[in-house]
Amino acid sequence: MHLLEGEKVTKYFGGLAAVSEVDFYVDEGEILGLIGPNGAGKTTLFNLISAALEPKPGVIKFRDEQINGLRPYKICRLGIARTFQTVKIFGNLPVIENVRVGSLFGPLKGLSTAEATKVALELLEFVGLSKVAYTPARDMTLVNQKRLEVARALATKPTLLLLDELMAGLNQTELLDTMELVKQIQKKGITIIMIEHVMKAIMGICDRIIVLHHGKKIADGTPEEVANSKKVIEVYLGEASDAGS
Ligand SMILES: Nc1ncnc2c1ncn2[C@@H]1O[C@H](COP(=O)(O)OP(=O)(O)OP(=O)(O)O)[C@@H](O)[C@H]1O
Ligand SMILES: [Mg+2]
């Protein structure tokens, strides 16, 4: 049984098939990369998995149970958490409160506020933000706001974590740190699907990669298989400025 599986997952916006008949799966423990040119449908696929949108037609199963049609909060409580390409933090709230929201909201059994604070502090330490725990979230750099979203998502105790362009705009040191962070999350036993344009990160840490183009899946394989796919080179890697870097 796959942890997450999609069958013929499709989403139209008007006449445009943003995601078109995509079959996919991710197995427990994997880091799956999701790549493709701008507008390929990657974020839309995350929106379909996290139930911000509903596939039509198509089926998405988590641990063999159909989850499409459920409300987003149910998806979260089943153990699927996400971050956003365009950060969606509570900017006026201190960093720690952003994470406490995740820990108080997510798990089925309610935590006390003291327990939620403890969890939040541990997670801020884990993502490297403990020094700014009491800073208003909006005052942080974008890089740190993205890390904050990771901590907030982890606070809901996910089995599966969806990361949408966590590495965008990082310098080399930050990139290596963030790659290490993602590997540490995998070591906690959390399965990951990551959307990235940064090829060094994708090729360096993914176990398997799916490539979307115009809403369709055009490749699915190991980093080596995908990097050598003529079709992928033609539509994506050949034009990506940082391919292979
Ligand atoms: N809410 C929406 N309403 C209408 N069209 C949308 C909506 N969301 C996405 N689209 C369109 O669907 C297509 C896929 O968009 P999506 O954001 O999923 O691409 P992406 O692969 O994440 O691209 P990027 O790498 O630029 O983030 C694009 O043509 C986009 O304009
Ligand atoms: Mg996107």
pLDDT in tens, 188-208: 999 999 999 999 999 999 999
Half-sphere exposure of 91 (CA within 13 A, CB side): 7
Per-residue pLDDT tens over the stretch 43-54: 999 999 999 999
Ligand 2 centroid to 145 CA: how many Å? 17
Q: Which atom of ligand 1 is nearest to the CA of 19?
A: 14
Give me the residue label for tokens 């942890």: 3
- Residue 180: CB atoms within 10 Å: 11
The candidate with the shortest Cα–Cα distance to 36, out of 231, 180, 172, 200, is 231
Confidence of residue 166 (pLDDT cuts 50, 70, 90): very high
Instruction: Specify the pLDDT at position 62.
Output: 98
Burial 89-122 (b: 16+ CB within 10 A, else e): beeeebbbbbbbbbbbbbbeeebeeeebbebbee
Ligand 1 centroid to 36 CA: how many Å? 12
Domain spans in the chain, listed from the N-terminal domain onward:
80-157
245 exposed, middle or buried (CB, 10 Å; 0-12, 13-18, 19+)?
Answer: exposed
Per-residue pLDDT tens over the stretch 39-95: 999 999 999 999 999 999 999 999 999 999 999 999 999 999 999 999 999 999 999
Confidence of residue 106 (pLDDT cuts 50, 70, 90): confident
The rounded distance, in Å, linking the Cα atoms of 202 and 236 is 14
For ligand 1, whether the C-beta of 36 sits within 6 Å is yes
Ligand 2 centroid to 118 CA: how many Å? 33
Residue 241: pLDDT above 50? no
Mutate to test the pocket of ligand 1, among 11, 43, 196 (most ligand atoms within 8 A of CB): 43
The candidate with the shortest Cα–Cα distance to 51, out of 4, 99, 109, is 4
Confidence of residue 109 (pLDDT cuts 50, 70, 90): low
Instruction: Specify the pLDDT at position 107.
Output: 67
Instruction: Specify the pLDDT at position 243.
Output: 44
Task: Give the ligand whose atoms come closest to the C-alpha of residue 38.
Answer: 1
Task: Give the ligand whose atoms come closest to the C-alpha of residue 48.
Answer: 1
Mutate to test the pocket of ligand 1, among 13, 35, 242 (most ligand atoms within 8 A of CB): 13
Per-residue pLDDT tens over the stretch 200-238: 999 999 999 999 999 999 999 999 999 999 999 999 988
